[in-house]
C-alpha cells in the first residue's frame, strides 16, 4: 500500500490527510465536526441493556516505570479534623493535581498538544500556545463533551493472545481483520478505540518503561483513519507504536497525523479490559461513548473517565 515509509512519505502523507480549512479557517474542533447531532442520536440508540463501563485507569498517584511524575492526591481536611471549619458541620475535602500527559493517566490530547514544523491543526502557529495557556486549539473544543458511537477493535482477541507483544506494530490490514472478525465497521464520526492488551500485560508483569516499546498503530494507518473519517482515536497505549520506525522528525507519527493534520483528538492510556469483556459477552463492539473533559480554558487536554453505555 505504501512503498517506502520514510520522512518524505510522512511529509506527503501529512499533506494528504490534512483537514485544514475543511471546516473553515477559524475551526478549532477538527474531526469532532464529524459528530453531528444525528450521529450522536444514532449512537445513543445503540444502548441496549444499559450497562455502563468506564474506560479509565485509576488516578495514578504512585510512581511506576511508566509514571515518573505521579499525580497528586492529598487530603485538605480528613476525618480527624472534620470540624476544622467550625462546629456544626463535619466535613472532609481533598486536592487533586496532575500533569496528565505521558504514559500513566487516562487522558485526552487537545489539538494544541503537538505541532509539526511549528504549526498546529488548521495552520495556527505553535507560538499561540503561551505560557499562560493555549490561545488556539485548546480542550475547550470539547467543552460540551464528546459523545458518539464508540467502536472497539480488540487486537489481542483477534490474535488469540492476552496481549500484543511490545514490538507489535499494527497496520491497516490488522484493523480491517479485526473489523471483519468482530463484524463491525468503523465509520464517520466514530470514536475508535484500539485495544492492545496493555492492561493485562501490566497486571501480569507490572509496568514497564515505555522506551522498551508499546504496541500501537504504524504510521501507515494514518490514511486509513483519514478515509474512515473517525472523530477521535483512543487506545490502552498511546495509539502510536513505540519506538516507531525511527524516522527523523516523526517519532510519534499517529499523534502528528491525527492531532495536527486531521484534527483528531486522542485518548491515551485508557483501560479497555473491562470494555473488552463487556463487548465479548454481548458479541457487540459498538456502544454509546461519552468523554467529558473539564472545561479548562487554554488547556492542552485533560484527565478523563470515558464511559461506554452498552
Binding flag, residue 257, its own copies (CB under 8 A): no
Beta strand 307-309 pairing with 52-54: antiparallel
Residue 133 main-chain phi, psi, to 5 deg: 125, 160
Residue 2's nearest CA partner among 253, 229, 195 is 253
List the one residue out of 120, 195, 131, 186 whose CA is nearest residue 161: 195
Q: How far is CA 56 from CA 11, 67, 73, 113, 280, in A?
A: 34, 15, 17, 20, 19
Q: How far is the CB of 304 from its own copies (least distance, A)?
A: 7
Q: Rule CB under 8 A: say whether 15 interacts with its own copies.
A: no
Find residue 147's DSSP bridge partners: 290
Q: How far is the CB of 3 from its own copies (least distance, A)?
A: 22
Q: How far is the CB of 134 from its own copies (least distance, A)?
A: 7
Kindly state the smallest distance separating residue 85's Cβ from its own copies, in Å: 9
Q: Is 8 in the site for its own copies (CB under 8 A)?
A: no
Please pick, from the candidates 6, 15, 76, 281, the single residue that binds its own copies as defined by CB under 8 A: 76
Please identify which residue in 34, 250, 257, 285 interacts with its own copies, judged by CB under 8 A: 250
**Cβ closest to its own copies, residue 179 vs residue 305:** 305
Residue choice 11, 33, 69, 159 for contact with its own copies (CB under 8 A): 69
CA atoms of 126 and 130, how far apart (whole Å): 9
Site for its own copies in 90-129 (CB under 8 A): 90-102, 112-118, 125-129
Q: Which residues is 232 bridged to in the sheet?
A: 191, 265
What does DSSP assign to residue 258?
A: I
Select the span of 69-77, 190-198, 199-207, 216-224 touching its own copies (CB under 8 A).
69-77
Binding residues among 280-299 for its own copies as defined by CB under 8 A: 288, 290-299
Q: Kindly state the smallest distance separating residue 15's Cβ from its own copies, in Å.
A: 18
In contact, 184 and 286? CB cutoff 8 Å? yes
Judged by CB under 8 A, does residue 203 bind its own copies? no
Q: Is residue 306 a contact point for its own copies (CB under 8 A)?
A: yes
Among 12, 15, 22, 36, indicate the residue that binds its own copies (CB under 8 A): 36
Please give the residues from 38 up to 57 whose contact with its own copies meets the rule CB under 8 A.
Answer: 38-45, 47-54, 56-57
Q: Which cell numbers in the block locate residue 58?
A: 485509576
Closest CB 308 distance from its own copies, rounded Å: 9
Cβ atoms within 10 Å of 79's Cβ, excluding its own: 9
Q: Is 249 in the site for its own copies (CB under 8 A)?
A: yes
Cell of 69: 511524575
Asked if 143 is part of the footprint of its own copies (rule: CB under 8 A), the reply reads yes
Size of the site for its own copies (CB under 8 A): 101
- Return the number of the residue (173 or 209) whose C-beta is nearest its own copies: 209
Min dist. Cβ of residue 208 to its own copies (A):
15
Length of the chain: 310
CA–CA distance, 195 with 198 (Å, rounded to integer): 8
Return d(Cα 71, Cα 88) in angstroms, integer.
33
Task: Classify 11 as helix, strand or coil.
Answer: helix
Contact 288, 46 (CB under 8 A): yes
CB 268, min distance to its own copies, A? 12
Amino acid at each position: 500500500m505504501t512503498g517506502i515509509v520514510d520522512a518524505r512519505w510522512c511529509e506527503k502523507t501529512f499533506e494528504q490527510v490534512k483537514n485544514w480549512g475543511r471546516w473553515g479557517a477559524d475551526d478549532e474542533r477538527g474531526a469532532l465536526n464529524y459528530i453531528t447531532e444525528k450521529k450522536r442520536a444514532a449512537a445513543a440508540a445503540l444502548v441496549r441493556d444499559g450497562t455502563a463501563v468506564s474506560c479509565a485507569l485509576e488516578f495514578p498517584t504512585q510512581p511506576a516505570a511508566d509514571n515518573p511524575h505521579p499525580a497528586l492526591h492529598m487530603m485538605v481536611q480528613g476525618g480527624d479534623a472534620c470540624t476544622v471549619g467550625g462546629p456544626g458541620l463535619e466535613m472532609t475535602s481533598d486536592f487533586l493535581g496532575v500533569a496528565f500527559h505521558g504514559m500513566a493517566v487516562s487522558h485526552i490530547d487537545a489539538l494544541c498538544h503537538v505541532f509539526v514544523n511549528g504549526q498546529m491543526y488548521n495552520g495556527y502557529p505553535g507560538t499561540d500556545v503561551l505560557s499562560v495557556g493555549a490561545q488556539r486549539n485548546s480542550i475547550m473544543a470539547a467543552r460540551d463533551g464528546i459523545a458518539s458511537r464508540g467502536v472497539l477493535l480488540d487486537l489481542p482477541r483477534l490474535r488469540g493472545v492476552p496481549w500484543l507483544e511490545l514490538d507489535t506494530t499494527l497496520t491497516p490490514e490488522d484493523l480491517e481483520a479485526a473489523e471483519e472478525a468482530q463484524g463491525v465497521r468503523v465509520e464517520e464520526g466514530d470514536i475508535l478505540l484500539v485495544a492492545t492488551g496493555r492492561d493485562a500485560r501490566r497486571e501480569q508483569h507490572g509496568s514497564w518503561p515505555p522506551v522498551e516499546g508499546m504496541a500501537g498503530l504504524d504510521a501507515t494507518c494514518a490514511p486509513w483513519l483519514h478515509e474512515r473519517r473517525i472523530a477521535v482515536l483512543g487506545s490502552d497505549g498511546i495509539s502510536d507504536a513505540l519506538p516507531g520506525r525511527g524516522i527523523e522528525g516523526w517519532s510519534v507519527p499517529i499523534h502528528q497525523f491525527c492531532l495536527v493534520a486531521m484534527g483528531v483528538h486522542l485518548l491515551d492510556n485508557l483501560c479497555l479490559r473491562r470494555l473488552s469483556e463487556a463487548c465479548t459477552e454481548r458479541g457487540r463492539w459498538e456502544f454509546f461513548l461519552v468523554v467529558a473533559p473539564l472545561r479548562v480554558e487554554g488547556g492542552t487536554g485533560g484527565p478523563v473517565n470515558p464511559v461506554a453505555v452498552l
